[in-house]
Amino acid sequence: MPPLRTRSTVDRLDKPSSYASKNRKRKRGRNDEREQRSPDLDDKLREATTLYVGNLSFYTTEEQIHELFSKCGEIKRLVMGLDRFQKTPCGFCFVEYYTHQDALDCMKYVGGTKLDERQIRTDLDEGFVEGRQYGRGKSGGQVRDEYRDEYDPGRGGFGRAYSEGDEKGR
């Protein structure tokens, strides 16, 4: 009789992030040689100590983030995401821990919880590099804000709805 195969009901926490996977595919098309020389992203994430934290309110402070995320381990560094032009918070941050296990614990216990009435999302990140703290959108903020149709006061109210309101003489 063949052995029984069981399927885990719990998702792996150290799986590659969707952002990192998309970014890797984009870079692979540009320069295949560099991709072959660099270590595999999956290997980097197996030992990652940095978390990308998204869907934060524009009004969430570093102190609030530090207080919440320090419950899972000692924080080495916290980098707030900033609007590229105005240098104001734009809804994301990077939290770096000293150990990989602390980062996994944080994803397990803090990811999906609410902070400032917004459900935050956490994702393992290959590591913070200077320049990644700035938003990538046309407006200087986050990319998703340009695709948002509704006014969202928790995210600062920016986005397409805001720019259309300005055109109407608001």
> Tens digit of pLDDT for each residue in 27-59?
555 555 444 435 566 677 788 899 999 999 989
pTM score, two decimals?
Answer: 0.67
Find tokens 């890797």 and name the residue: 24
**Which residue segments constitute the domains of the chain, with CATH numbers given?**
43-168 (3.30.70.330)
Can you tell me the distance from the alpha carbon of 164 to that of 170, in angstroms, rounded to the nearest whole number?
Answer: 9
User: Which residues of the chain carry a pLDDT beneath 70?
Assistant: 1-42, 137-170
Q: In what order do the strands lie in the sheet with 89-97?
A: 75-82, 89-97, 50-54, 121-125
Residue 155, Cβ density class (10 Å: 0-12 exposed, 13-18 middle, ≥19 buried): buried
Q: What DSSP element (H or E) covers 145? A: helix 143-147
Pair 112, 54: CB distance under 8 Å: no
